[in-house]
Amino acid sequence: MEELKDLATSLGRRDTAWIGLFFNIWSWSMSDSAFYQQDKDFSNWASDQPDNYNGAENCAEMHSNGYWNDGSCSANIDSICSNVSGPDLKFVYITTRMSWTEAQSYCRKRHTDLASVRNMAENRQIMELIPTPNTWIGLYREWKWVDGSHFSFTYWDTENNQPNNNGKNEDCAATYLYFSGKWHDWNCDAKLPFICSRANSSTQYIFIDETKNWTEAQSYCREHYSDLALIKNMEDMNTLINVAKSLGETSQSHWIGLYDDVNSWKWSMSDSDFYQQDEKEFRIWASGQPNNLNGCQYCTEMASGGSWNDQSCSVEQDFICSDVNGANVRFVYIKIRMSWTEAQSYCRKHHTDLASVRNMAENRQVMNVKPVPTSTAWIGLYRAAWKWVDGSNSSFRNWNEEPRLAKEDKCAAANFGNLGKWEDRNCDEKKPFFCYGGEPQFIFFKGSGELYLKVDRKEGSEGGGGDAANVARLGIEPATTGTRTKASMRGLCTAPAPPQHPPQFIFMS
Q: Select from 327, 328, 294 the least CA-distant residue to 313.
A: 294
> Helix and strand tally (H, E) in the chain?
9, 29
Tell me the residue ranges of DSSP E strands in 9-86: 16-28, 59-63, 68-71, 77-85
* CA dihedral sign of residues 264, 270, 275, 277: positive
pLDDT at 404: 58
Tell me how far CA of residue 165 lies from CA of 48, 59, 152, 224, in angstroms.
17, 15, 20, 49
Cα separation of 325 and 355, whole Å? 14
Query: pLDDT band at residue 381, thresholds of 50, 70 and 90?
Result: very high
1: pLDDT strictly greater than 70: no
Give 285's DSSP letter.
Answer: B
Q: What's the chain's average pLDDT?
A: 76
Angle between helices 340-350 and 120-127 (to 10 degrees): 30
DSSP for 314-361, please give it.
T--EEEEEEEEETTEEEEEEEEEEE-HHHHHHHHHHHSSEEPP--SHH
- Judged by DSSP in three states, 294 sits in helix
Environment class of residue 386 by beta-carbon count within 10 Å: exposed (0-12), middle (13-18) or buried (19+)? buried
Strands 449-457 and 205-212: parallel
Strands 77-85 and 134-145: parallel
Query: pLDDT band at residue 495, thresholds of 50, 70 and 90?
Result: very low
184: pLDDT strictly greater than 70: yes
Query: pLDDT band at residue 247, thresholds of 50, 70 and 90?
Result: confident
pLDDT at 276: 85
Query: Is the pLDDT higher at 431 or at 475?
Result: 431
Tell me the mean pLDDT in the region 433-450: 48
Query: pLDDT band at residue 412, thresholds of 50, 70 and 90?
Result: very high
Q: What is the pTM of this model?
A: 0.45
pLDDT tens sequence across 12-23: 444 566 666 666
Query: Is the pLDDT higher at 379 or at 112?
Result: 379
pLDDT tens sequence across 291-336: 887 767 889 999 988 999 999 899 999 999 999 987 789 999 999 9
Q: Which residues contact 58 (CB under 8 A, 6 or more apart)?
A: 52, 70, 72, 73, 140, 141, 142
Domains and CATH numbers, the chain: 2-197 (no CATH), 205-260+396-402+409-487 (3.10.100.10), 265-383 (no CATH)
- Judged by DSSP in three states, 153 sits in coil
509: pLDDT strictly greater than 60: no
Contact 446, 490 (CB under 8 A): yes
Tell me the mean pLDDT in the region 90-115: 92
Tell me how far CA of residue 168 lies from CA of 56, 70, 186, 188, in angstroms.
10, 13, 10, 12
Contact 91, 146 (CB under 8 A): no
Which stretches of 57-201 are DSSP H helices? 100-110, 120-127
- Judged by DSSP in three states, 107 sits in helix
- Judged by DSSP in three states, 144 sits in strand
